[in-house]
A = this chain, B = another copy of it.
Amino acid sequence: MISRPVSYKFVNFEKGFWKTRQDVNRIETQQAIYKQYSEKGRFPALKLNWRDGDLNRPHIFFDSDVAKWIEGAAYNIRLNGEDGNIGLIDSLVDEIEAGITPEGYFNSYYQTFEPQNRFTVRANHELYCAGHLMEAAVAYADATGNTRLLDLMKRYGDYIRRVFFDEKSAGFQTPGHPEIELALIRLWEYTGEDKWLELSRHFVDTRGKNEEQSAVPWFDDSYCQDRMPVCDEARALGHSVRWGYLYSAAAGLARITKNESLWNACRRVWEDVLKHKMYITGGVGNLRHGEAFGPDYYLPNFEAYAETCASISLAFFASRMTEHEPRGEYADVFELEMYNGILAGISMDGRRFFYENPLRMIPKDQKFLNEVNAMQRPSMRQEHFSCSCCPPNVLRFYAALGGYFYGVGEDENTLFIRHYADCSAEITLGSVRVRLTQETDYPWDGRVRIKIFPVIKTNFTIAVRFPGWCENPSANHEGVLKNGYFYISREWKSGDIIELDFPMDVLEIESNPKVSQNCGCVALKRGPLVYCVEEADNGAELSDLEIRGTPEFEVVWCAELLGGMNTIEFPASRRQSFDALYRVRKDSYVDVRAKAVAYYAWGNRGEGEMAVWLRRS
């Protein structure tokens, strides 16, 4: 059954885990990025007045950074009041308005440096930037009613449509970096104007023509998702963020246009990633080279690239798949990303970010490799990157998080509850308004109490997701379990309660024997959280920490640790240290008490080793 999401506008986190994270996101992250972008040229570039000798030369992707900040700020304004941010956004819109050409074109890089060359180089992110600006425009209009940016972006959209669709006069046919495809769907959804949907379809359908590539050697067909028509694709290859954005749009189009072959392609690449290419944290795009998907089952942990934006793009894809088909695995992956793959991308204080998300960190090795320029990557989160796409992506993702919690089936009689958190929501099914509250200590405790307040007694179905990680879920109502959702159909009256229990055992997870990197290892999970061990708790040389026999895992609430957290303590062994590089094996171990913390919180206590996968015998 197709479903529509319930907008973030109608979902409020009033306390608990996501209330805290959203507050940090709004108060710290949004301001931190604003400051960085003011200082690092992102906002100034909009003035189109950069001159030789100035700092922060505008780059082809600068506008997308600006756009994602506006988008995130718009969500926060809507949820928490404007707090001065409308003025900031309006002044940015003023600059875009002043700079936009009579035809409707806007790109701070091209207008500053190469106005004559617009839409000639496929690799140069113009449509990507345009897409992000469109998303920002929709978000801002939807949040505030202010359509000034939206009107500008519709003009830009008309110009793009003319050049790429009507006249086909651009130097290329499809964007080197997909993004506008899903932005156009949002524009269509918001405006109801079919031309945007048509243009999105055009960009998706036109892929796979092996367009002539730029001179950049890594900019090949796989990299920019052009190796075959989307409908024919069966593998996830190339640049993982480009992949995720493209397939988010493709999944949306498959649903909207009822295109079965496009849907089948989405299913195939989805399965390819889930079965062969995703880190246990949700990280995707393991290769540094080309920020790309690697071979099947090739999941190096220290060398993992796993860009934060790639996890976001996979979450987007998952959310679009969910709208097409109620399978729990889509929300499972979304949940995996929101608690792990994406959340690790931002510090607890909200002001520092990972671009790459390894599953193993050995700072001494990383620093050596940085020094000799063999694998450049910070061992700790940074305030800013020269390519600083991830921070505002995190900002906008978490600001609108509530929008992924609920869905309404196309029958207008089914309410999907996909995620669990302390929150309240206002949802309309057909003509019936339903208020709904969740009480839970999720992700620390799997008991969820959902209260339902329909304005009138009504028969409808509530489909609660039974998380894929949970081995023995239960509910206090009769229902039918299908593809990860538990359908409870009855007459609901105000004050009805659904009690769910998702026991959160500590699970030892193994990976497929084909994943050479993780053979002989397990990762610990509890509920939706992946755990890791850190040097701060366990000393260094974490690869040697070994779980043996049948250990008792003790879940310990640590209120003072990393914002409050259930840690996992367990007995483990280490080898006794010795001096030689090699020696004849001695079966000599030291018993230790090990402690694991949630992966999302790693690297918040100074520099140190971290490991997700632990030896198991």
**A471: nearest residue on chain B (CB-CB)?**
B584
Q: Is the CB of B508 within 8 A of A585?
A: yes
Give which listed residue, B295, B509, B544, contacts A585 with CB less than 8 A: B509
Give which listed residue, B289, B362, B509, contacts A372 with CB less than 8 A: B289
**Chain B's nearest CB lies how many Å from the CB of A126?**
26
Q: How far is the CA of A287 from the CA of B514 in the complex (A)?
A: 25
**A299: nearest residue on chain B (CB-CB)?**
B581
Q: Is the CB of A516 within 8 A of B360?
A: yes
* A512 and B287 in contact, given A298-B365, A369-B295 (Cβ under 8 angstroms): no
Q: Is the CB of B514 within 8 A of A541?
A: yes
- Residues of chain B contacted by A510 (CB below 8 angstroms): 575, 582-586
Q: Is the CB of B575 within 8 A of A513?
A: yes
Q: Is the CB of A581 within 8 A of B519?
A: no
- Residues of chain B contacted by A543 (CB below 8 angstroms): 513, 516-517, 519-520
Chain A 514-547 interface 0/1 with B at a Cβ cutoff of 8 Å (1 = within)? 1111011111000000000000000001111010
Q: How far is the CA of A544 from the CA of B513 in the complex (A)?
A: 6
A258 proximal to B (CB < 8 A):
no
- Residues of chain B contacted by A218 (CB below 8 angstroms): 373
Q: How far is the CA of A543 from the CA of B521 in the complex (A)?
A: 11
A571 proximal to B (CB < 8 A):
no
- Residues of chain B contacted by A507 (CB below 8 angstroms): 584-585
Q: Is the CB of B512 within 8 A of A294?
A: no
**A545: nearest residue on chain B (CB-CB)?**
B519
A364 proximal to B (CB < 8 A):
yes
Q: How far is the CA of A510 from the CA of B517 in the complex (A)?
A: 18
**A292: nearest residue on chain B (CB-CB)?**
B372
Q: How far is the CA of A266 from the CA of B99 in the complex (A)?
A: 66
- Residues of chain B contacted by A513 (CB below 8 angstroms): 541, 543-544, 574-575, 577-578
- Residues of chain B contacted by A275 (CB below 8 angstroms): 579-581
**Chain B's nearest CB lies how many Å from the CB of A226?**
14
Q: How far is the CA of A375 from the CA of B218 in the complex (A)?
A: 13
Q: How far is the CA of A280 from the CA of B289 in the complex (A)?
A: 29
A368 proximal to B (CB < 8 A):
yes
- Residues of chain B contacted by A509 (CB below 8 angstroms): 582-585
9 additional contacts, CB 8 Å, given A294-B374, A520-B615? A275-B580, A295-B365, A298-B368, A509-B582, A510-B586, A512-B580, A513-B574, A516-B542, A520-B521
A→B interface (CB under 8 Å): 217-218, 222, 274-276, 278, 280, 287-290, 292, 294-298, 302-303, 360, 362, 364-365, 368-369, 372-375, 471, 507-517, 519-523, 541-544, 546, 574-575, 577-586, 615-617
Some 29 contacts from A to B, beta carbons below 8 A apart, are: A274-B581, A275-B580, A275-B581, A276-B581, A278-B581, A289-B375, A290-B372, A292-B372, A294-B365, A295-B364, A295-B365, A297-B581, A302-B516, A360-B516, A507-B585, A509-B584, A510-B584, A510-B585, A512-B578, A513-B543, A515-B581, A516-B541, A516-B542, A516-B543, A516-B544, A519-B544, A519-B546, A520-B521, A520-B615
